[in-house]
Amino acid sequence: MWNSNLPYLFMLIAIAGFALLLWDQARCRVIANNIAQQVCRQNNVQFLDGTVVFQKLWPKRNKEDEIRMQRYYAFDYMPEVSETIEDSRKTGFIVMHGTQLTAVGLAAENIQ
């Protein structure tokens, strides 16, 4: 009896795990987007395109030896005063470990 249902059980567990990963990914993207907007406001630069772009995902252990997903997001920004959009468009990044911010960065020459 159990042998015939075992593949279905594994498939159900895999689908549930994938759905949980997608839900967590969407939640972290909202957090990263809010962080990018805040960083751009604090540095007097314009947040372009209105969103962050997901780049990488990998498992990593934290200080408590728990495995969390580490995510890397990129976003574009531009100084408030610029002559051409193509020359002044820069890319920033956000690294999150789980839902916690690990690192955020902007190109140093554009921060005022």
The model's pLDDT over 81-104, given as tens digits with 9 standing for 90+, comes to 656 555 678 899 999 998 899 999
What is the model's pTM?
Answer: 0.78
Tracing tokens 């007097």 back to the chain, one arrives at: 44
Q: How is residue 40 written in tokens?
A: 């751009």
Check: CB of residue 93 under 8 Å from CB of residue 72: yes
- The residue-averaged pLDDT of 73-77 equals 94
Give which of 52, 48, 68 is closest to 60, Cα–Cα. Answer: 68
By CB atoms closer than 10 A (0-12, 13-18, 19+), residue 31 is middle
Supply angle C-alpha 95, 99, 103, rounded to 5. 25
Print the domain residue range for 54. Answer: 2-110
Q: What total of structural domains would you count in the chain?
A: 1
